[in-house]
Amino acid sequence: MAVVVTFFLHLVQDYYTAHGENATYIAKTYCHTTSALRQLGSKSDAISSVSVSKNMFETIARDLLLERTDHTLELYEGSGSNWRLVKSGTPGNLGSFEDILFANNEMQDSPVIVAIVPNFRENGSTVGLGYIDLTKRVLGLAEFLDDSHFTNLESALVALGCKECLLPVESAKSSDFRPLNNAISRCGVMVTERKKTEFKGRDLAQDLGRLVKGPSEPVRDLVSGFEFAPGALGSLLSYAELLADERNYGHYSVRQYNLDNYMRLDAAAVRALNVMESKTDANKTFSLFGLMNRTCTAGMGKRLLHMWLKQPLLDVDEINFRLDMVQAFVEDTAFRQELRQHLKRISDIERLIHNLEKGRANLLHIVKLYQSSIRLPFIKSILERYDGQFASLVKEKYLDPLGYWTNDDHLNKFNGLVEASVDLDQLENGEYMISSGYDSNLSALKDDQESLERQIHSLHKHTANDLDLALDKTLKLDKGTQFGHVFRITKKEEPKVRKKLNSHYIVLETRKDGVKFTNAKLKKLGDQYQKILEEYKTCQKELVVRVVQTAATFSEVFEGLALLLSELDVLLGFADLAASCPTPYTRPDITMSDMGDIILEGSRHPCVEAQDWVNFMPNDCKLVREKSWFQIITGPNMGGKSTFIRQVGVNILMAQVGSFVPCDRASISVRDCIFARVGAGDCQVSCVAFSSGLLEQAKKELIKR
Ligand SMILES: *[C@@H]1O[C@H](CO)[C@@H](O)[C@H](O)[C@H]1NC(C)=O
Ligand SMILES: *[C@@H]1O[C@H](CO)[C@@H](O)[C@H](O)[C@H]1NC(C)=O
Ligand SMILES: *[C@@H]1O[C@H](CO)[C@@H](O)[C@H](O)[C@H]1NC(C)=O
Ligand SMILES: *[C@@H]1O[C@H](CO)[C@@H](O)[C@H](O)[C@H]1NC(C)=O
Ligand SMILES: *[C@@H]1O[C@H](CO)[C@@H](O)[C@H](O)[C@H]1NC(C)=O
């Protein structure tokens, strides 16, 4: 169950506090001492309090929402007795904390919230499931039969990368639902209880009609195909308050999630195979993700890799498409490296678009999109130059879509907009401004401003003559916040001109750094200048809003582009790994699942092999249909049994994700599930194999197939 942690931001002094048990928790967990606690109030009703800096608060927020993933974080803002809730977030719905969490960090994973409507039968149950990915703006529905341990649900939670799960209150409490809760907690997912009445799917088709782009017919058809899932998705729409914000309308897509599209992995298998990195890894290459994380784009590629590793494919053609591309990149080193060089300059387009549509974007975001967009012709021309074995595939999957999106109706138009509107010359100085030539009002204001500057300058000259001082050298012109435009001379000069100053000018201030003075004419010009400057700024702001709004109309193109580029990025990363290992990986032969054979020759465990101190002895594995389907591995302690078992699982998983494998030769018939119950710990530990209960389960599975 989610634990709430509440913080207060004291606006004036700019620090954060927590109180009561929250304070104790924060002090113990993050300050590692209770001496950070102060007691507020009188002895009898004293309450403890802890205060933390902005940096510390951000660290705590990151830890609670991204690492611990079982807390709700709330932030109140105010002072004195006047407080209001300004931010609230959960691991699945980071909400307004996103700004803080990803200001300087890449978003590694896009969180998914699932809602479940379970329906019990005596021999199992039907699970209605809805999910939402707020970053990618995807909604999904699924419904399936499940066994008494909810193993199907578990694999769905793993594949979706679920961080938070909504359950009807009754289900969360009832002991009948203990197995369901166990399955959820095995995946490290936070449970959020909601009233049963919120799990209503009656108006779902209509609500989706507003959120989803395109005609409403297909949406209605999709929804009507389910009995329980609409209630689940309905609860998510209200939980995430999607309908309350019109900016969401027409921007979501909805899909049916089919359990049978991906290899099934439960939480234990993901752990046993070290698929994802763990905080305790001394070296990031201990995990498959850490080893394969060679993407170049900011954030996008890594998130896709995360997703792919949780969703190995079952379709032979889809797997082979990825392998074809990896092969193309492995075989042509220059092709691969040139593309990677350009991908390094691509920003996190997905997140930029997300900000754009949330109305949180400014010119900085637009310029980043532009800088990514002008890379595309380079990427396109590299793809065009490739004339290897897979040239037609490259053309169909990447070149043609790129050509379409960059044409004059789409990104060329966007580039034109940015080039006309943004003052790109000012970027070097870190300034993001609309160029004055973009708008007639703005350029009129700019002209006024320049004319005033000229007048002020000539007045400056005139005054220097009048006082018989050297322009700029002894008679300075200052522009400050207190007085606006003023003349300044040093105290040393002052006696020389004192008489004139007193008769013709107004002395404003005499200080160590000099004497400031003005006259009626300078005052007037200075005030006019200030007024024009304000108008100029206001006009800039209005134009920024307009440019950002226009840029937002390109978001669909950018979305497609983000997907294409992150896919390229991940595949290039696979190729880079395959080609750069001391012993290169090979392309596996993928065969239909009913062929049934798994042949790995000279195979290694990729993560173990990657450690400096390991000299890996390759070995073979032959699981042949109806001959050696079932093998018992025996050997002395520390002999490498579990490494071997894991290695087979990892090789199969890598192959079905579309990567080359660390083998001399591999032929893999597509597997729809990996069970792994190998002793806990990281790559070096080798101990138990299957536990007996699971052996039964594994046997049953094998017999079923
Ligand atoms: C924070 O305070 C709230 C309200 O007193 C309490 O429900 C919650 O459990 C506290 N959280 C922690 C982590 O102590
Ligand atoms: C449970 O039994 C019913 C018939 O009694 C059958 O229709 C249904 O498919 C069974 N469910 C499972 C999960 O085996
Ligand atoms: C992935 O690799 C990049 C550098 O290549 C690194 O900055 C990033 O932290 C890595 N991500 C993870 C989760 O290890
Ligand atoms: C210029 O300003 C006027 C009035 O302030 C406004 O009506 C007009 O729309 C503006 N023109 C442009 C191009 O923004
Ligand atoms: C991780 O292991 C690789 C390969 O053994 C090595 O090159 C790298 O320095 C290690 N990194 C750390 C942080 O130990």
pLDDT at 693 over 80: no
5 in contact with ligand 1, CB cutoff 6 A: yes
Nearest CA to ligand 4 atom 2: 441
Per-residue pLDDT, 171: 60
Mean pLDDT of the 671-683 span: 69
pLDDT at 681 over 70: no
pLDDT at 331 over 60: yes
| pTM for the model | 0.83
State the chain's mean pLDDT as an integer.
Answer: 88
Per-residue pLDDT, 632: 84
Per-residue pLDDT, 474: 83
CA dist 405 and 196 (Å) reads 45
Mean pLDDT of the 15-37 span: 89
Query: How do residues 434-461 score in pLDDT, each as one tens digit?
Result: 998 899 999 999 999 999 999 999 998 8
Ligand nearest to the CA of 281: 5
Using an 8 Å Cβ cutoff, are 202 and 150 in contact? no
Using an 8 Å Cβ cutoff, are 290 and 277 in contact? yes
How many angstroms is it from 189 CA to the middle of ligand 2?
28
Question: Residue 398's pLDDT band (boundaries 50, 70, 90)?
Answer: very high
Per-residue pLDDT, 32: 84
Query: How do residues 619-670 score in pLDDT, each as one tens digit?
Result: 999 999 888 878 888 888 778 888 899 999 999 999 999 999 999 999 999 9
How many angstroms is it from 197 CA to the middle of ligand 1?
26
pLDDT at 133 over 80: yes
Mean pLDDT of the 76-99 span: 88
Q: Which residues line ligand 2 (CB under 6 A)?
A: 121, 123-124, 145
The 3-state DSSP class for residue 121 equals strand
Per-residue pLDDT, 123: 67
User: Phi first, then psi: what are they for 164, rounded to 5°?
Assistant: -150, 145
How many angstroms is it from 423 CA to the middle of ligand 4?
20
User: Phi first, then psi: what are they for 368, rounded to 5°?
Assistant: -65, -40
Using an 8 Å Cβ cutoff, are 62 and 105 in contact? yes
Mean pLDDT of the 232-238 span: 95
124 — alpha (psi -120 to 50), left (phi > 0) or beta?
left
How many angstroms is it from 123 CA to the middle of ligand 2?
6
Q: Averaging pLDDT over each range in 235-239, 512-516, 614-618, which range is the top one?
A: 235-239
Domains and CATH numbers, the chain: 3-101 (3.40.1170.10), 112-261 (3.30.420.110), 438-549 (1.10.1420.10), 589-704 (3.40.50.300)
- Please name the residue that has the structure tokens 């691969």: 336
Going by C-alpha positions, the residue among 432, 423, 442, 415 that lies closest to residue 542 is 442
Query: How do residues 561-579 score in pLDDT, each as one tens digit?
Result: 999 999 999 999 999 999 9
CA dist 301 and 287 (Å) reads 17
Nearest CA to ligand 4 atom 3: 441
By the 10 Å C-beta count (0-12 exposed, 13-18 middle, 19+ buried), 219 is classed as buried
CA dist 587 and 322 (Å) reads 11
Query: How do residues 164-210 score in pLDDT, each as one tens digit?
Result: 999 998 765 667 788 888 899 889 899 998 999 999 988 999 999 99
Ligand nearest to the CA of 108: 3
Nearest CA to ligand 4 atom 12: 441
pLDDT at 400 over 90: yes
Query: How do residues 356-374 score in pLDDT, each as one tens digit?
Result: 888 888 899 999 999 999 9
60 in contact with ligand 1, CB cutoff 6 A: no
Neighbours of 345 (CB within 10 A): 15
Per-residue pLDDT, 384: 95
Query: Which tokens in the block code for residue 69?
Result: 């993933």
pLDDT at 31 over 90: no
Share of the chain above pLDDT 90, in %: 52
Per-residue pLDDT, 505: 85
Nearest CA to ligand 1 atom 1: 22
Ligand nearest to the CA of 68: 1
Mean pLDDT of the 664-687 span: 71
Per-residue pLDDT, 173: 63
Going by C-alpha positions, the residue among 382, 401, 298, 305 that lies closest to residue 339 is 382
How many angstroms is it from 436 CA to the middle of ligand 4?
14
Query: How do residues 259-315 score in pLDDT, each as one tens digit?
Result: 889 999 988 889 889 998 877 777 777 899 999 999 999 889 999 999 999 999 999
pLDDT at 680 over 60: no
Query: Which tokens in the block code for residue 278?
Result: 């763990």
The 3-state DSSP class for residue 8 equals strand
Going by C-alpha positions, the residue among 186, 189, 184 that lies closest to residue 164 is 189
By the 10 Å C-beta count (0-12 exposed, 13-18 middle, 19+ buried), 6 is classed as middle
297 in contact with ligand 1, CB cutoff 6 A: no
Question: Residue 216's pLDDT band (boundaries 50, 70, 90)?
Answer: confident
